[in-house]
Amino acid sequence: MKANHRLDPVFSSLQPASVWKHFATLCRIPRPPKGEALLREHLREWAAGLGLAAVVDGAGNLIVRKPASPGWEHLPGTILQGHLDMVCQKNGGTPHDFSQDPIAPVLRDGWLLAEKTPLGADNGIGVALILAALEDDSLIHGPLEA
């Protein structure tokens, strides 16, 4: 599944835009527990497209490595950790199928939420922050492993 990289209007006013772009991708690609393979593969391809080393280990963990900024190779590495799946709980009578339906976020009164399902912000926003950090070439850092 290829994620559309156009920012959903729900996220257009939220900052930093790079974080919300990634969170929008997480909302579009279903990711129930034990069913995050499509998202994992999308992110592996995304990382490879940035020239980052990305592997999936025997347990199914996606590991992405970014070298230190030039001149900062002497710093100890930093691990950025999150999980790709989300809690799949819905309101009664809601036909949402977490194995194939995207999450439909809404922005209401300054709050981002999903109606009748969880938003997936646990741990989606953490993953979105990690992805934004990995793609930001202006950050100065030691070696990163996510």
Rounded Cα gap, residues 48 and 90, in angstroms: 34
**Mean pLDDT rounded to a whole number for the chain:** 93
pLDDT at 2: 43
Report CA torsion sign: 115, 40, 87, 123.
negative
Q: Is the pLDDT of residue 145 over 60?
A: yes
Q: Is the pTM of this model over 0.85?
A: yes
pLDDT at 9: 85
121 and 98 Cβ atoms separated by less than 8 Å: no
- Total number of residues shown for the chain: 146
**Which tokens belong to 62?**
């996606």
Q: Is the pLDDT of residue 55 over 50?
A: yes
Rounded Cα gap, residues 126 and 117, in angstroms: 19
Q: State mean pLDDT over 15-41.
A: 96
Q: State mean pLDDT over 19-40.
A: 96
CA distances from 88 to 11, 99, 118 (A): 22, 9, 7
pLDDT at 1: 41
pLDDT in tens, 93-126: 999 999 999 999 999 998 999 989 999 998 999 9
